[in-house]
A and B are shown apart, each in its own frame.
Chain A
Amino acid sequence: MNLYNLGLSGINAANARLNTTAHNINNMDTAGFNRQTVTVSTAGGTLTGSGYFGRGVSVDGVSRQYSSFLYTQLVSARSQQASLATYSSQISQINDLLGTSSEGVSYALEQFFSSVQAVATQPSDTAARQEMLGQAASLATQINEAQRMLDEQYASVNAQVSTQVDQINSYVTRIDNLNQQITSALAASGSQQPNDLLDQRDQLVSELSQLIGVTTSANGASINLTTGGGQVLLSGTTVYPLKAVASAEDPTRTVVAYTMPLTTTDADGVKTSSTVTVEFDESKLTGGSLGGLLEFRSETLDPIRNDLGRLATGLALSFNELNAQGLTLTDEAGGDIFSIGEPTVYSNANNEGSGQVSAVFSDVDGLASSDYSIVYKEDSGYTITRLSDGTSTTYDADAGVIELDGLSITLPDATDGSVADGDKWSLQPTRTIASTLSVSLTDPSGIAAADSEGGTTNNVNALLMGELQSTKVLGGGTLSLTDAYTQIVNKVGVQVQSVTAATTAADNLVTQRLTAQQAVSGVSLEEEQVALLQYAEQYQAASQLISVASELFDTLLGIAS
């Protein structure tokens, strides 16, 4: 009789194993699947007069082959890889923009200076003058175009930040759902792990961390999610969604913010709950493609736009300055050849005062390729910080117009109450200025080739213009206009190389860790095939037991009759 039960337990065990093997085979290519094995143990023994007789095999459960260490390693490597892949794909667009030397800004600079030389050699030749204006317009167009593509990339990064924030929030919500499903599945089963739900959740966390680096921590059967910098995304069953908002400092910039609940108590002790949106410190948001985007924007895109702007400003201001010193073909003082915009200042959206800061270019040589933050505090006055190296200078509340780094900055008089304590402004002198560069001189005779002595064959001023190709007019006397462009090329090239090298390293790391993780969790078809054969045999053997038991019973019945 016992033989039936023993056979049954064998069949059940074989069945369980065959099913699990089939499940493994079916899910061989499912992303994030960890192969499952059935754990069995003996069903114990029954004590009889002649000893303990075993009760067969019992299926204890199905467990997934999973190493949380290897999994975490792999997720972190993939997160870094995704970040670099995004950075790399973004920066390669700038790499392409600067690509060929037969077009673009470098060639336009060569042609323009060549045309200036032609005017210097034959200052009364109208054709040479017309050609110089034509080449100036070409150069301005090339610079405008380069800026336009960088601006487009900036807009695209803004859009991608928004999209990715939405995706991140959606993942967090789905992980929250799975947390709840896993918790109830565990409650229902007692101690059996809901393996496939756990696999799904792990896969979601892996995909999320390819969007933004996250750390997980266990919270019972659930997991909590935090970003770099310690901001909680998911805790218990509360989701703290991220938001993509226009930065308070710079309304053109989409940044990531988190919402925090805020409870304020007023003077009567009445509490009001609201939420406050706080912008992230971007340096803390690392990992994943969002991390890569933000890093690209602040490390590469912003500085390159600033550098290009400085080149455009240097070109316009130095030529205009020289032209004003000389005499035109009609013996009048020269006007502007180029026109260029003014530095941009944004008032912080949270400013309580109404005071506005403005700035104009005053000395091209002192221009730094940097942004500035301006803060007013009642006890210390105005503090202006150059963001590229962090140096700050303080000024009095009524300092008025101050000179700094080639800029004339007008600070509003804080003593008349228009400025509140803590008001801030963001000054970006050259960030978007390259798109405003244009040629304003239309009459070729307006080129002031002559110096103050005048005369139609006077080319003294034009010779100085020709020398601008190599005169160090920027960077405190260290950079010529050509040098400024060369620096841009070099900067981009070096960053591309560095990102490419890091990407290769990250790819190799992912391969290594994937191999290690797969060694534990991956499905090997050969292995499953062998298992199929093995468990099929077990099934056949166990069913033999039942057939034998049936024969024995027949035999028993046969004795009786």
Chain B
Amino acid sequence: MRISTSLKYEIGASQINKLQAKQLHLYEQTATGLRVVRPGDDPLAASQAVTVSQSLAANSRFESNRAVASSNLGMADTAVQNSVDVLEAIKGRLVQAGNGSYSASEMQALGAELKSSYAALLTQANATDGNGSYLFSGNQGDTAPYAVDSDGWITGSYQGDAGQRLVQVDQTRQISTSNTADELYGDVFDDLRSVIEALETYDADDAEGFATVLTNAQDSVSGTFDTLVTIGASIGARMNEVSALDAIGSSRSLSYSSQLDDLVGLDEASAYSLVSYYQVALQASTLAFQKIQAMNLFNS
């Protein structure tokens, strides 16, 4: 078959061009560390990489969310533990009040102590987070769970609502990071007020009336004590769940990163060996072309 001279040049040049184009793509890959530099390099991998990348970013965001959840639960836990301690002290005082052998002035002194315990408990109920939102008022974060009058008693009833302050701690998991003062404390403040006022105006002649108020208060305190312990355990459980999710989250992050690398990352070793390969191929091709082109009858 005849080979025309211009064909020789055209084919030689196009082979060299092809090799150079492959080299260029390889340089791009090594410079970016990516096998898939553009969607056209591997459409399936490129689109899957978008999804994995989104999941990776979301995973990281959930970690931040969990930090906030932990912090909120921690503050709630502290307030609940403090409340439990105060109730413990109150229980002791109420037992003393049922002694029956105290004088009126000793009863009044008890009343004063219980009043300061009442205030301490109220402080916990109306606790705030670092940003000025109340912990236990449900969705009404800027409203105190209980309004307080000038004498330190609560006025009216619970002012918040039943909102749970859910936090998205994982792709499909929302955890409640608070409980409402209503479910924590119930009617304990009202019952405590009754017994404190009864102590302040103690009349030994109305022993029966006093005993009723006292028993009421003791039941209420006991019930609230149990509720707080139970909810405290639930808070603890939720904090544990958040920690467990943290562990899962960080291993998931590793998994996503590894998936991403598998999809679009460059296998450095084979890339570098290809770089040498193409260099050699290009040299060989150019040399061959030079030799072939140098051979013609006009030259010899």
Contact = CB atoms under 8 A, between A and B. Distances in A.
Given A29-B6, A496-B38, A525-B298, A117 B51 contact: no
Interface in A472-523: 482-483, 485-487, 489-490, 492-497, 500, 507, 511, 514-515, 518-523
A98 B14 CA distance: 29
A74 to B, nearest CB: 12
A96 B38 contact: yes
Given A118-B61, A490-B44, A524-B2, A459 B50 contact: no
A453 B140 CA distance: 9
Interface residues of B, number: 57
A456 B54 contact: no
Interface string B30-57: 0010000111111110110111011001
B273 interface: no
B215 interface: no
B174 A522 contact: no
A101 B2 contact: no
A46 interface: no
B166 A459 contact: yes
A114 interface: yes
Contacts of B1: 519
A111 B163 CA distance: 28
Contacts of B47: 486-487, 489-490, 493
A497 B47 CA distance: 14
Contacts of A460: 163, 166
Which one of B14, B40, B51, B166 has the highest number of Cβ atoms from chain A below 10 Å of its Cβ?
A: B40
B123 interface: no
Interface size class of A (residues with CB under 8 A): 35 or more
B151 interface: no
A519 B8 CA distance: 11
A454 B161 CA distance: 10
Contacts of A485: 50
Nearest to A120: B168
B60 to A, nearest CB: 8
Interface in A433-479: 450, 453-460, 463, 466, 469-470
Contacts of A120: 65, 167-168
Contacts of B50: 101, 106, 482, 485-486, 489
A13 B297 CA distance: 24
B141 interface: yes
6 contacts: A117-B64, A489-B39, A492-B39, A500-B40, A519-B2, A522-B7
Given A121-B65, A455-B140, 5 more contacts: A113-B57, A450-B139, A490-B47, A518-B7, A526-B5
Q: Which 3 A-B pairs have CB atoms at the shortest separation, nearest pair first?
A: A522-B4, A493-B43, A496-B40
